[in-house]
Structure 1
Amino acid sequence: MARALGRDEQARRRAERVGVLGVLAAAVLPVLLWHEVIADIAQVTADQRAAVLLVGWAPWVMMAVGVLCSVPVAVLSRRARSGRFYGPGPGAWQGWGVTLYVLGFGLATQVAQLHGLST
């Protein structure tokens, strides 16, 4: 017979579920908001300047790297706190992930506004 989970264990599992849903929402939200802009940037031809490609893809690369920073956070948070190899927490990964995502989101907003002016 399975034992009942304690209050702390229930809170930890709830926090993990909320974290997973948050990361999935962060990954899907830019595609839902700016799918037309992303499609137009993907159709840039080779004769156009490389700077247009760099500026066009920069926000989405920043957001993707920000979301990928959540992988080490998840791995590091699953380690046993009483284990031999438990070290510093995932604070730096969380900081970089949030910073890159927010900066990428702001830049994507500006790219979408410029895209609206050009079409």
Structure 2
Amino acid sequence: MTFVIALPCVDVKDRACIDECPLDCIYEGERMLYIQPDECTDCGACEPVCPVEAIFYEDDTPEEWRVFNSVNAEFFADIGSPGSAAKVGPFPKDHPVVAALPAPAPEAG
């Protein structure tokens, strides 16, 4: 089991979780952050600092966002386990489920 990042993170990417993760296992895609399941040790340090409450223990992911359990794991299918998000930087991609979500409406200004 591992922690996962779900829908509330899409187009937010606050990064507080990245700063808190002692293992540097939270990676950045174009529209959201992803937890590498093979690198996560379930310490839970990321969960309480998420300002949009997007991080869940895998078994506790709300049913409507349960697809994000596989989204997080599948994001790394071709990347593998880089071992350090800081070393590789952001990835210029997202999981197809995330990429297919509608873009946020522009803010009125």
TM-score (norm 1): 0.25
TM-score (norm 2): 0.26
Please state which structure has a larger fraction of its residues in helix.
1
**Structure with higher RCO (Cα < 8 A, 6+ apart):** 2
